[in-house]
Amino acid sequence: MHELTAEDKAKRDEIVTKLENASGKITKQQEKVDDEIAALNDEINEYNAALKEVDALADEVVRRIQGYYNSKSEGWKEEKGEAYDDWISSWSNINLSPMDMIEEIALDDMEHSKEVAELPESPES
Protein backbone atom coordinates (compact mmCIF):
# COMPACT_ATOMS: atom_id res chain seq x y z
CA MET A 1 0.00 0.00 0.00
CA HIS A 2 1.52 3.30 -1.11
CA GLU A 3 -1.28 5.66 -0.10
CA LEU A 4 -4.80 5.72 1.24
CA THR A 5 -7.46 4.47 -1.09
CA ALA A 6 -10.19 6.77 -2.32
CA GLU A 7 -12.52 4.86 -0.02
CA ASP A 8 -10.19 5.47 2.96
CA LYS A 9 -10.01 9.19 2.16
CA ALA A 10 -13.78 9.43 1.79
CA LYS A 11 -14.33 7.61 5.07
CA ARG A 12 -11.78 9.85 6.80
CA ASP A 13 -13.47 12.97 5.43
CA GLU A 14 -16.86 11.66 6.57
CA ILE A 15 -15.53 11.08 10.06
CA VAL A 16 -13.88 14.52 10.14
CA THR A 17 -17.23 16.07 9.20
CA LYS A 18 -18.99 14.10 11.95
CA LEU A 19 -16.41 15.23 14.49
CA GLU A 20 -16.71 18.88 13.41
CA ASN A 21 -20.52 18.76 13.54
CA ALA A 22 -20.51 17.11 16.96
CA SER A 23 -17.91 19.60 18.20
CA GLY A 24 -20.10 22.51 17.09
CA LYS A 25 -23.13 21.03 18.84
CA ILE A 26 -21.13 20.41 22.01
CA THR A 27 -19.89 24.02 21.97
CA LYS A 28 -23.45 25.33 21.61
CA GLN A 29 -24.64 23.15 24.49
CA GLN A 30 -21.70 24.24 26.62
CA GLU A 31 -22.62 27.88 26.02
CA LYS A 32 -26.20 27.15 27.11
CA VAL A 33 -24.99 25.34 30.23
CA ASP A 34 -22.57 28.18 31.06
CA ASP A 35 -25.46 30.67 30.77
CA GLU A 36 -27.51 28.51 33.15
CA ILE A 37 -24.56 28.26 35.53
CA ALA A 38 -24.27 32.05 35.52
CA ALA A 39 -27.98 32.33 36.37
CA LEU A 40 -27.58 29.71 39.11
CA ASN A 41 -24.62 31.62 40.55
CA ASP A 42 -26.77 34.76 40.69
CA GLU A 43 -29.28 32.82 42.81
CA ILE A 44 -26.49 31.40 44.98
CA ASN A 45 -25.25 34.97 45.58
CA GLU A 46 -28.76 35.98 46.65
CA TYR A 47 -28.97 32.96 48.98
CA ASN A 48 -25.56 33.75 50.50
CA ALA A 49 -26.59 37.38 51.01
CA ALA A 50 -29.63 36.16 52.97
CA LEU A 51 -27.32 33.98 55.07
CA LYS A 52 -25.33 37.10 55.96
CA GLU A 53 -28.57 38.69 57.13
CA VAL A 54 -29.26 35.66 59.31
CA ASP A 55 -25.74 35.95 60.72
CA ALA A 56 -26.31 39.61 61.64
CA LEU A 57 -29.68 38.74 63.20
CA ALA A 58 -28.15 35.87 65.17
CA ASP A 59 -25.38 38.13 66.50
CA GLU A 60 -27.97 40.69 67.62
CA VAL A 61 -30.22 38.06 69.23
CA VAL A 62 -27.29 36.46 71.08
CA ARG A 63 -26.12 39.89 72.28
CA ARG A 64 -29.59 40.68 73.65
CA ILE A 65 -30.09 37.25 75.27
CA GLN A 66 -26.63 37.45 76.83
CA GLY A 67 -27.33 40.95 78.12
CA TYR A 68 -30.62 39.79 79.66
CA TYR A 69 -28.91 36.72 81.15
CA ASN A 70 -26.05 38.78 82.61
CA SER A 71 -28.50 41.16 84.31
CA LYS A 72 -30.10 38.35 86.35
CA SER A 73 -29.26 37.18 89.84
CA GLU A 74 -27.29 34.04 90.63
CA GLY A 75 -30.46 32.39 91.92
CA TRP A 76 -32.28 33.06 88.66
CA LYS A 77 -29.26 31.77 86.70
CA GLU A 78 -29.24 28.55 88.73
CA GLU A 79 -32.94 28.06 88.04
CA LYS A 80 -33.17 29.12 84.40
CA GLY A 81 -29.56 29.50 83.29
CA GLU A 82 -29.23 26.15 81.52
CA ALA A 83 -32.21 26.86 79.29
CA TYR A 84 -30.74 30.26 78.40
CA ASP A 85 -27.32 28.72 77.75
CA ASP A 86 -28.98 26.26 75.36
CA TRP A 87 -30.88 29.08 73.70
CA ILE A 88 -27.71 31.12 73.25
CA SER A 89 -25.90 28.07 71.96
CA SER A 90 -28.62 27.41 69.38
CA TRP A 91 -28.37 30.94 68.01
CA SER A 92 -24.56 31.01 68.22
CA ASN A 93 -23.91 27.68 66.52
CA ILE A 94 -26.27 27.88 63.57
CA ASN A 95 -24.61 26.64 60.39
CA LEU A 96 -24.39 29.62 58.06
CA SER A 97 -21.74 28.31 55.68
CA PRO A 98 -22.28 29.95 52.33
CA MET A 99 -22.98 27.90 49.24
CA ASP A 100 -20.08 27.52 46.84
CA MET A 101 -20.31 29.08 43.44
CA ILE A 102 -20.58 26.67 40.52
CA GLU A 103 -17.73 26.78 38.04
CA GLU A 104 -18.36 26.78 34.35
CA ILE A 105 -17.79 23.41 32.76
CA ALA A 106 -14.46 22.75 31.15
CA LEU A 107 -14.51 20.40 28.23
CA ASP A 108 -11.54 18.66 26.72
CA ASP A 109 -10.02 20.22 23.66
CA MET A 110 -11.91 19.04 20.58
CA GLU A 111 -9.10 19.09 18.04
CA HIS A 112 -9.59 15.49 16.92
CA SER A 113 -11.12 16.41 13.57
CA LYS A 114 -8.10 18.57 12.75
CA GLU A 115 -5.70 15.81 13.76
CA VAL A 116 -7.58 13.22 11.71
CA ALA A 117 -7.79 15.55 8.70
CA GLU A 118 -4.03 16.13 8.85
CA LEU A 119 -3.04 12.45 8.99
CA PRO A 120 -0.71 11.64 6.09
CA GLU A 121 -2.24 9.95 3.07
CA SER A 122 1.02 8.31 2.03
CA PRO A 123 4.51 7.72 3.38
CA GLU A 124 5.75 10.80 1.48
CA SER A 125 3.04 13.17 2.78
Contact 20, 107 (CB under 8 A): no
Residue 122: predicted pLDDT = 87
What residue spans define the domains of the chain? 6-92
> Average pLDDT, whole number, for the chain?
93
pLDDT at 108 exceeding the cut of 90: no
60: DSSP letter: H
DSSP string over 64-75: HHHHHHHTS-HH
d(CA 23, CA 29): 10
For residues 86-113, average pLDDT = 91
Residue type, 5: T
Taking only the tens place, the pLDDT of each residue in 18-67 is 999 999 999 999 999 999 999 999 999 999 999 999 999 999 999 999 99
pLDDT band at 125 (very low <50, low <70, confident <90, very high): low
Say how far apart CA 3 and CA 51 lie, in whole Å.
67
Q: What pTM was estimated for this model as a whole? A: 0.71
